[in-house]
């Protein structure tokens, strides 16, 4: 008996199809179209200016900054969050009881709004905060959000705080799927301590680790709230992410045409970077024989 | 023998202490927020743990303090609740429908739809922001609930999760339901959703949390003070009102509390669902 579900299938997928036309395909084409105009988001008429927007974007220092800032955030955020998530996962996994209680606790920061965490950090690092007063007492003064390296570091730290528990959950799930017999067999062969971690746990953790790394790299392309609240992209574009740049060009400077061109460049940069990162991670795994 | 037992106990004490300290460090920012929202204004941001407490910050929220102009906190809170619940309900409903079709119905073009969703998922969405804003304007939805609810009513991630999960549900259950005369919507409601209870609570919580804390979209789509969501209102207070950090902390507590309460309610299902969905 062969069932013909054609109509039913299309009916059930129709919400997605409708959405993808109205909120994906039309905007996509519109975005291409806008990027070749000098429209300012308000005036009724505008001109086609060919590739001028793209030329201008490629020469713009703030776009250069947005391009590099993503990778700088990766350098801060990805190692920080992977190490922290790994520590939390291994630690929690070794607890015989109350595992889920701890995991759920570590997951709490993921529920916070970027606005709230930015607010807390701003208060915590304000000029007369206990942290800064005690630092000044020993002769250290850092303008945390007004110095390029520290502003980058602070935003990276907030994100790492937020995502650690989430990634630790993923890692714990893959730790729990490791067969205990592997460890017992290794113990008979005399594999212990550090060696045990590096030669057994880490390789078997690779699938979970791969997922968290891909997710973490992806996060760095979408940073907006923390940067918008805390630094506005500054100081001197040191934290000017793609989203921040597009938002300021479109909705602050009202250059919709130009901002669409920047968004296209951002999409291309994101797409290529994620592709390369995936390939590199797969190569890394294959080279070590983990896949 | 005794020695090894003691060793084991010492090891456990160390492990639990380490985990507790680490947990305390991770949760401390929340504690800092709550304590500062109740702190005497002279002590806000001046002490790691304030010593003197007042309700001034909360009363300021609703009266506007000496400015006398109260910000529409309650309205914004109400907007956030409506918008998040409505968007999440749509996302859940549509995800379940689409996922059921993709996993359990055979129809011409299914693979094409499947591949298109994968392509769509990996597409950087930032490029869509400006034209989406223009579409909302053309539809006449600017500054209305529609702009905040409808375009945020579809989640590719939820479709993806449900599709994977439904694939594992044995077709036997569906056929049995069909023999009993169940229609497809009934199958969804009576068979598929009950079987995916644990993962449903995970998806629900993730979607709701993300919708509740959305800033960029909500900021662009509405302008009128009465239409703001709580997250956007808090964000607006950040700059000019930053001289009053106490009320900002109080607002943060209002924003964080509902999600944390939901998380605690769903906590048990959540841990289980997380394990299931990660396998």
Distance from CA of B126 to the nearest CA of A (A): 6
A35's CB contacts (< 8 A; 6+ apart) are A53, A54, A257, A260, A261, A263, A264
CB-based contact, B110 to chain A, within 8 Å: yes
Asked whether the predicted pLDDT for residue B240 surpasses 70, the reply is no
Euclidean distance between CA atoms B56 and B61, whole angstroms: 9
pLDDT of residue A1: 36
Identify whether the C-beta of residue A144 lies closer than 8 Å to the C-beta of residue A158: no
Q: Is residue A61 pLDDT above 50, yes or no?
A: yes
Average confidence (pLDDT) over A128-153: 86
Band (pLDDT 50/70/90 cuts) for residue B67 is low
Beta-carbon separation of A222 and B278 below 8 A: no
Q: What is the pLDDT of residue B210?
A: 93
Q: Is the pLDDT of residue A2 over 60?
A: no
| Interchain CB distance below 8 Å, B116 and A20 | yes
Q: Cα(A240)–Cα(A245) distance, rounded to whole angstroms?
A: 6
A3: pLDDT confidence band, cut at 50, 70 and 90? low
Q: How confident is the model at residue A44 (pLDDT cuts 50, 70, 90)?
A: confident
Highest mean pLDDT among A159-168, A193-202, B60-69, B165-174: A159-168
Q: Is the pLDDT of residue B21 over 90?
A: yes
Helix residue spans in B105-155 (DSSP H): 110-121, 129-138, 145-149
- Which pLDDT band holds residue B123 (cuts at 50, 70, 90)? confident
A156 falls in which pLDDT band (50, 70, 90)?
very high
- Region A6-19: mean pLDDT is 91
Q: What is the pLDDT of residue A187?
A: 81
Q: Which of A102, A115, A173 sits opposite B278 (nearest CB)?
A: A173
Percentage of chain A modeled with pLDDT above 70: 98
Angle A91-A112-A271 from CA coordinates, rounded to 5°? 85
Q: What pLDDT score does B53 carry?
A: 85
With contacts defined as CB-CB under 8 Å, which chain A residues touch B33?
A: 116, 119-120
Contacts of B232 (CB under 8 A, 6+ apart): B76, B215, B218, B219, B222
DSSP code string of B233-249: HHHHHHTTTTT-HHHHH
Q: What is the mean pLDDT of residues A99-109?
A: 87
**pLDDT per position as a tens digit, B256-273:** 999 989 888 877 777 777
Mean pLDDT estimate for chain B: 86
Give domain B73-277's CATH superfamily.
Answer: MetI-like (1.10.3720.10)
Is B29 an 8 Å CB contact of chain A? yes
Question: Is a pLDDT exceeding 90 seen at residue B215?
Answer: yes
More confident residue, A115 or B125: A115
Instruction: Tell me which of A9-18, A95-104, A162-171, B59-68 is least confident.
Output: B59-68
Alpha helices, DSSP H only, in chain A?
A: 6-20, 26-34, 52-59, 61-93, 99-107, 114-124, 130-137, 148-176, 180-188, 193-196, 202-219, 225-230, 242-247, 256-287
Q: Looking at beta carbons, which residues of chain B come within 8 Å of A27?
A: 127-128, 130-132, 135
Q: Are A15 and B100 in contact (CB under 8 A)?
A: no
* Span A206-244, pLDDT tens digits: 888 898 999 999 999 999 999 999 988 878 899 999 999
Quick one: pLDDT at residue B199? 87
Q: Domains in chain A, ordered, with CATH?
A: 60-287 (1.10.3720.10)
Residue A9 reports pLDDT greater than 80: yes
Per the CB < 8 Å rule, is B110 touching A9? Answer: yes
Flag if A8 and B107 touch (Cβ within 8 Å): yes
pLDDT bucket at B241, cuts 50 / 70 / 90: low
- d(Cα B241, Cα B61) in Å, to the nearest integer? 11
- Provide the pLDDT for residue B278: 66
Q: What percent of chain A has pLDDT over 90?
A: 52
CA-based nearest distance A288→chain B, Å: 23
The pLDDT assigned to B1 comes to 47
The residues, any chain, with a CB within 8 Å of residue B143's CB and separated by 6 or more, are B221, B222, B223, B224, B227
Contact A113 B238 (CB under 8 A): no
Query: Residue B2 pLDDT > 60, yes or no?
Result: no
Mean pLDDT of chain A: 88
Query: B133 falls in which pLDDT band (50, 70, 90)?
Result: very high
Domain assignments of chain B as residue spans, ordered by start: 2-54, 73-277
Is A119's Cβ below 8 Å from some Cβ in B? yes
pTM summary value: 0.89
Contact call for residues A26 and B131 (beta carbons, < 8 A):
yes
Q: Is it the case that residue A135 has pLDDT exceeding 50?
A: yes
The answer to whether B95 and B219 are in contact (CB under 8 A) is no
A122 touches chain B (CB under 8 A): yes
* Euclidean distance between CA atoms A16 and A19, whole angstroms: 5
Question: How many Å apart are CA A287 and CA A226, to the nearest integer?
Answer: 37
Average of per-residue pLDDT across B69-97: 91
Give which of A123, A252, A266 to mutate to test B binding, by max B Cβ within 10 Å.
Answer: A123
pLDDT at A251 over 70: yes
Helix (H) or strand (E) holding A111: none
- Confirm or reject contact between A231 and chain B (CB < 8 A): no
In terms of phi and psi (left: phi > 0; alpha: psi -120 to 50; beta: otherwise), the region of B45 is: left
pLDDT at A262 > cutoff 60:
yes
């Amino acid at each position: 008996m062969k069932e013909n579900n054609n109509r039913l299938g299309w009916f059930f997928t129709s919400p997605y199809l409708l959405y993808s036309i109205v909120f994906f395909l039309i905007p996509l084409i519109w975005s291409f179209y806008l990027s070749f105009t000098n429209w300012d988001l308000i005036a009724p008429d505008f001109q086609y200016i060919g590739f001028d927007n793209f030329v201008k974007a490629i020469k713009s220092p703030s776009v250069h900054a947005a391009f590099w800032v993503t990778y700088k955030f990766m350098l801060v955020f990805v190692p920080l969050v992977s190490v922290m998530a790994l520590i939390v996962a291994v630690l929690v996994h070794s607890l015989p009881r109350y595992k889920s209680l701890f995991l759920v606790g570590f997951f709490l920061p993921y529920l916070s709004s970027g606005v709230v965490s930015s607010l807390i950090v701003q208060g915590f690092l304000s000029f007369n905060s206990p942290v800064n007063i005690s630092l000044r007492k020993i002769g250290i003064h850092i303008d945390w959000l007004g110095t390029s390296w520290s502003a980058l570091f602070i935003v990276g730290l907030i994100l790492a705080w937020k995502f650690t528990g989430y990634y630790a959950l993923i890692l714990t799930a893959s730790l729990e799927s490791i067969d205990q017999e592997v460890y017992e067999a290794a113990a008979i062969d005399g594999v212990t301590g550090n060696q045990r971690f590096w030669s057994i746990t880490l390789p078997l953790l690779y699938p979970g680790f791969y997922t968290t790394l891909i997710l973490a790299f992806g996060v760095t392309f979408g940073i907006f709230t923390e940067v918008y609240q805390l630094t506005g992209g500054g100081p001197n574009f040191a934290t000017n992410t793609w989203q921040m740049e597009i938002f300021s060009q479109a909705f602050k400077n009202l250059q919709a045409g130009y901002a669409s061109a920047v968004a296209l460049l951002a999409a291309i940069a994101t797409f290529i970077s994620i592709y390369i990162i995936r390939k590199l991670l797969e190569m890394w795994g294959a080279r070590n024989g983990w896949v | 023998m005794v020695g090894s037992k003691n060793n084991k106990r010492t090891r456990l004490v160390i492990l639990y202490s380490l985990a507790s300290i680490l947990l305390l460090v991770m949760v401390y920012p929340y504690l800092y927020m709550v304590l500062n929202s109740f702190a005497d204004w002279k002590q806000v941001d001046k002490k790691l743990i304030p010593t003197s407490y007042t309700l001034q910050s909360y009363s300021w929220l609703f009266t506007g303090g000496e400015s006398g102009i109260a910000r529409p906190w309650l309205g914004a809170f109400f907007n956030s609740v409506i918008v998040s619940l409505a968007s999440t309900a749509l996302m859940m409903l549509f995800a379940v429908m689409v996922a059921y079709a993709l996993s359990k119905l055979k129809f011409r073009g299914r693979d094409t739809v499947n591949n298109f969703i994968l392509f769509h998922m990996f597409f950087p969405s930032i490029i869509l922001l400006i034209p989406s804003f223009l579409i909302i304007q053309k539809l006449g939805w600017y500054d209305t609930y529609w702009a905040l609810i409808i375009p945020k009513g579809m989640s590719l991630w939820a479709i993806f999760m449900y599709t994977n999960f439904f694939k594992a549900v044995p077709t036997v259950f569906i056929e049995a339901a069909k023999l009993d005369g169940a229609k497809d919507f009934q199958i969804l409601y009576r068979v598929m959703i009950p079987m995916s209870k644990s993962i449903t609570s995970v998806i629900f919580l993730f979607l709701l949390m993300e919708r509740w804390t959305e800033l960029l979209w909500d900021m662009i789509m509405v302008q009128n003070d009465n239409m703001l969501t709580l997250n956007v209102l808090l964000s607006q207070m950040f700059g000019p009102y930053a001289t009053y950090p106490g009320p900002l902390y109080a607002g943060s507590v209002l924003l964080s509390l509902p999600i944390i309460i939901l998380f605690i309610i769903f906590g048990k299902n959540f841990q289980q669902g997380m394990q299931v969905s990660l396998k």
